[in-house]
Chains A and B, each alone.
Chain A
Amino acid sequence: MEGAQTNDIAIIATGITLMPLFSFLLLIFFGKKLEKKSGILATAVLAFSALLSLYVFYQVWLNQGSTLTHFEWFSHQTNAFVIGINIDKLAAIMLVVVTLVSGLVHLFSLVYMKGDKNFPRYFAYLGLFTFSMLGIILTNNIIFIYIFWELVGVSSYLLIGFWQEKPAALKASKKAFLVNRIGDAGFLVGILSLFALFQNTDLGIIASKHFSGVYAVDFASQYLLISLAGMGLFCGAIGKSAQFPLSVWLPDAMEGPTPVSALIHAATMVAAGVYMLARIAFIFTPEVQIVIAAIGTITAFMAAYAALSQNDIKAVLAFSTISQLGYMVMGIGVGTVGASLFHLVTHAFFKACLFLSAGAIIHVMHQVEHDTKAHFDPQDMRNMGGLRKKIPVVFIAYLFSAMALAGLPLFSGFLSKDAILVGAYSFASEYGGAAYLIPLFGFLSALFTAFYVGRQLIMVFFGEFNLEDKIKDAGNYIQDISWEMKLPLVILGFLSIGFVFSLNPFDGENGWLLATFKGNLVIDHSQKLLVEVISASLAISGLGLAWLVYGNRVLYNLKQSLFPKSSFAYKLSLNFWYMDSFYERVLVKNSILIAEKLKTFDLSIIDGIVNKLALFNVIFAHIIAWVDKYIVDGFVNFMVMVSGKTGNLTRSFQGGKVQSYFAWTLFGFICLLIYLINE
């Protein structure tokens, strides 16, 4: 009974995964015929799989229906390679997150992408992406995770460059693809190290072998390989989750359609790195953990700092995403895997909401641009302001999710970010010394976060509509958005409230989600209280500061004189620590230089050798041909002459060749026998 039911769940989960693939195939092949229906069809498919996901979620969380189904892929010698479909609580909630956000993004895109000439293709790619993402979640074999991992990379590439006519979009898609390859090379190293260690790629088998200390290599190389595996897999996460030093692709990826940014570059794909780290966290050695924690902290801080000065509404959110991913990675590093996963889930909802709100705002601004026939940047926040009265639903949704991002008590982000910071703090108090830098920079980033969130909120929704300075009565052109856009915002905004995840708004630890994920981790309650007080006050003071600077502008002049646009600190933030120019100057230029050198080397020396070899071969072939012609054929001809003289049957069989065949064969054979006898 139990078995039958869990088996059902595996089948349903497989169905959920395959439905978006079906949608992808259908739209790729028949999209042109379906035209507008294609979007509705894809949305319906996703809605259905989201409903099924909720059912799976209900079964797994409430009826304890976790299941792990294995089937054999192939076997080599005694080693069976299995593909597992793993549906535990983590996978179940990820299923809901991905299908729900994806479904809402589909719905939102129906309006947002209306009239695009490649409308069906857009939904096809979304389907491909959703399929691949679900694949990462459900499979239990690291090679399959890798395959799906690359597939989400491809769909991300396709969607970033969706507007092919924009050169910036094409460039960004290439950049994202290439930068991710660097991380994936490391991922592959990690997978191969795991395979060397365990002779298997199934995560369940790897975990059980690791815990019972069964390794396929000798003692001396064990530790090295385990560290290498951890570092390699982490490299993959660095690329996919845009961690330092590979963060540079994510801001550029904002060139894609905004709903795509919401789905792929905020809520799901970029979090896949964190999810993968959580799945294999058991393999990390203390050294690797410290590296992970450090990288996460650096990323969180650097990106939060960069978000302070951006004027593009999406750029702020992009840097904020990098920064929040940094928090999650930090959480993995300091050992609070559950907190990171919790933050992953809450972040997916509130960041998707923020991006979709941004999309709605851009949509509205586009309308204004179109209707007034004026030209301005619809994404520039300096053109906005006072929008809260014009599009109130967006404002409320944005407000809720922004407060969650800022980490204000009562909102989901507070619970999850706090859990990570508590972990970081107890990690620091355990190691002491320099380890305190981790929570310190974590808190600093939290302050920055609250500040840039407040700044964005004020610039977009409060004050006066700034565009009216340039274009008279521009405000009258603003239209409210349709229900297809409102519904996703309302749902996601609601999911940003803290009560959804924990009844006690100050204690996420005992909320249903974290209580399950945190495992047996013991939390010091005095530390927890301290961290909570600090982070809540940081959030409030960050927001307050933003109000003082941008709201009533009391401190605006002070800020301008402290950080004028010409100051280094300002430029550092605006240009994201000059990482791009650094790569451009140091890596790209030198690579091209080396490539040029290698090209000359290749042309002159390698090709030279090959040509010489070819020449040698030709000469050798000529020698063989000569031997064939004069010695072999000569002998045959000699035999022909001999047999010609004896004169029997000569003309009837091609000039007596048969006899020469005999002679040649027997001669060869006798030679062989004589050689053997003398041996």
Chain B
Amino acid sequence: MNLSLSDKLNHILESISSLYAEGWLAVLFIALIIIELFLTSKKKLVLGVVALIGLAINFLFIQKTGTGNEAPFMLGLLAIHKSSLFFKYLFNFSGMVVILMMMLSGNNKQEDFKNYGEFYSLFIAIILGLNLMAMANNLLMVYLSIELVSITSYVLTVFKFDKKGAEGGIKYLLFGAISSGVMLYGMSLLYGFSGSLVFSEIASGLAHIPTIPVIIALGMTLGGLFFKISAAPFHIWTPDVYEAAPTPLVAFFSVAPKAAGIAVLLTFIQGFENFVQEEKGIIYLLGFVAGLSILIGNFSAIWQKSAKRMLAYSSIAHSGFLLLAIIPLSASGYSGLYFYLGIYVFMNFAAFVFIQFFEETSGNDSIEKMKGTGLSFPVIGILVVTIMIALTGLPITAGFTAKLFIFSALWEAYQNSGEGFMLTLFIFGLFNTLIALFYYLKIPFFMFFRPNENQQFSIQPVQTALLVVLTLPLIFFFFKPDVLTGFLNTLLF
């Protein structure tokens, strides 16, 4: 792009019309900092309300800017991909749920994280970073937006201000740093090979380069994304961080950055589609990473005693399933992926909402402590059973439908290509769904089949309502999956 300075400035000004949502988030970020200055420490809840309203308004902005025309703007740094709109809605929705979780939290101690105003502004910054990730069209932008998300995440992880939080934060930071290092290395190799940072130009620039170095460079770049979606072998930080960070934030980490990582991965894979189709190396890499994530996630989850650590490993396994959906490189695979993400938001948030409220009244998140809660709180019990069944992927929940879509896409790909690799992944995934049953059902098992001993758990009606609102879609979309697929189709295609 050899443009004169004034042309460039004009171009940038025009581009702003595609950035309403991000601009609004930046405004919200600054506004929250300023409002915080004027509030006494008792009234920080106002910030939550402002953030909630701000995010609600942001839906309108997203809708206003979002047409997936793929045309790059901001000098080719960003582009609104077909999937960007879906991901932005997802981040925004997740953000609202997190703020609701914080506001409904029963914990009102002075030192509680939600009384720190910075929490809200930093949180908005994460969403901004995620939005940028979903629109990135350039390696530089990928790196910058990932770092925006990561660095804010490191800071927010320590917001419990205890020893564990600090340790988790530092671990997260160090691990993030090395992953970024690997990714940057890969990116610089790609730049060296092709002389460009824009996806489409890199793809054409790589045509004359031998495949082995390209695979290494691409693989290393993907490494950074694997870190973001906590896929094996870049998953090791996950349990420690999940255990250390405030629960609403953990819920967010398990959903939104993961989705953003998938978004970048999708732009990446689609940008290099021809190369990936010809050289199966990258697909094999994704397959191995997916299989490894599912295996490690499932087997480690079996032994966990803490519900959050268990869900950390479960989220590693879910990353594996998400990657499985990319592997067929087919339309049905992608739509399965979006459906899975849509359902995953509800089920994961629902699970964490329960854990948060349980943890607040009973002191910790040990699964054994849930003894008998299902009997004394039958409504909660039934909701949790539903959520866990959904996470396992069994009828009558949409978790089943989601897994079904992914597996059928994989099976279709196997039938079209006849590659044993696909079949292996298919069978492997199915068996692991079975294993998942063991640890997910541990929670309902303790809730219903173990007698209640000095119960401390209690829950407020509003909290129950939030849980219900998050759980009902899991049943509803099982019976009417076409409502969600129809909605996704209008967004994506």
Contact = CB atoms under 8 A, between A and B. Distances in A.
Given A661-B237, A664-B233, A676 B284 contact: yes
Contacts of A621: 302
Contacts of A75: 482
B140 interface: no
Nearest to A76: B482
Nearest to A668: B233
Contacts of B284: 676, 679
Contact of A74 (B212, B232, B480): B480
Q: For the side of the interface on B, what is the size category? A: 20 to 34
Contacts of A673: 215-216, 219-220, 285
A675 B291 CA distance: 15
Most buried by B among A621, A624, A661, A667: A661
Interface string A158-174: 00000000000000000
A657 B174 CA distance: 11
A453 B219 CA distance: 91
B236 A672 contact: no
A654 interface: yes
B232 A668 contact: yes
A662 B212 CA distance: 24
Interface string B162-181: 00000100110011001000
A288 B175 CA distance: 74
Given A653-B170, A672-B288, A672-B289, A677 B216 contact: yes
B182 A676 contact: no
A34 interface: no
Given A74-B480, A679-B281, A679-B284, A669 B223 contact: yes
Interface residues of A, number: 23
B20 interface: no
Nearest to B223: A669
Interface in B215-245: 215-216, 219-220, 223, 232-234, 236-237
A658 interface: yes
B482 A676 contact: no
A669 B233 contact: yes
A665 interface: yes
B457 interface: no
Given A668-B232, A669-B223, A653 B167 contact: yes
Nearest to B173: A658
Contacts of A667: 233
Contacts of B302: 621
Judged by DSSP, the binding face of A is helix
A654 B167 contact: yes
B299 interface: yes
A662 B302 CA distance: 24
A653 B237 CA distance: 13
A318 B233 CA distance: 75
A672 B175 contact: no
Contacts of B212: 677
Nearest to B211: A677
Interface in B11-70: none
Nearest to B177: A662
Contacts of A676: 215, 219, 281, 284-285
A668 B223 CA distance: 11
Contacts of A653: 167, 170-171
A671 to B, nearest CB: 9
Contact of A658 (B171, B232, B479): B171
A662 B234 contact: no
A256 B182 CA distance: 80
A676 B482 CA distance: 39
A665 B233 CA distance: 5
Interface in A582-629: 621, 624
A84 B236 CA distance: 57
A664 B219 contact: no
Nearest to B216: A673
Interface in A649-663: 653-654, 657-658, 661-662
Nearest to B226: A669
A665 B178 CA distance: 10
A673 B211 CA distance: 13
Contacts of A675: 288
Contacts of B234: 665, 669
A142 to B, nearest CB: 20
B167 A665 contact: no
A677 B170 CA distance: 34
A40 B175 CA distance: 76
Contacts of B236: 661, 664-665
B218 to A, nearest CB: 10
A657 B236 CA distance: 10
Interface in B456-493: 479-480, 482
Interface in B169-197: 170-171, 174-175, 178, 182
Contacts of B233: 664-665, 667-669, 672
Nearest to A654: B167
Interface in A222-236: none
B238 to A, nearest CB: 11
A654 B240 CA distance: 11
Contact of A677 (B167, B171, B215, B237): B215
A76 B285 CA distance: 35
A621 B302 CA distance: 10
B250 to A, nearest CB: 19
Nearest to B232: A668
Contacts of A658: 170-171, 174-175
B299 A624 contact: yes
Interface in A429-473: none
A454 B236 CA distance: 90
Contacts of A664: 233, 236
Most buried by B among A76, A621, A666, A676: A676
Contacts of B237: 661
A664 B288 CA distance: 16
Contacts of A679: 281, 284
A675 B219 CA distance: 12
B226 to A, nearest CB: 8
B472 to A, nearest CB: 18
A287 B488 CA distance: 50
A71 to B, nearest CB: 15
A191 B301 CA distance: 44
Contacts of A662: 174-175, 178
B60 to A, nearest CB: 31
A144 B212 CA distance: 61
A614 to B, nearest CB: 12
A76 B174 CA distance: 50
B171 A672 contact: no
A675 B285 CA distance: 9
B135 to A, nearest CB: 28
Interface in B393-443: none
A520 B284 CA distance: 69
Interface in A487-541: none
23 contacts: A74-B479, A74-B480, A76-B482, A624-B299, A653-B170, A658-B171, A658-B174, A662-B174, A662-B175, A664-B236, A665-B175, A665-B178, A665-B236, A666-B182, A669-B223, A672-B219, A672-B233, A672-B288, A673-B219, A675-B288, A676-B281, A676-B285, A679-B281
- CB-based closest 8 A-B pairs: A668-B233, A661-B236, A665-B233, A676-B281, A658-B174, A673-B219, A677-B212, A662-B178
Given A74-B479, A665-B178, A673-B216, 7 more contacts: A661-B236, A662-B175, A662-B178, A664-B233, A669-B233, A672-B285, A676-B281
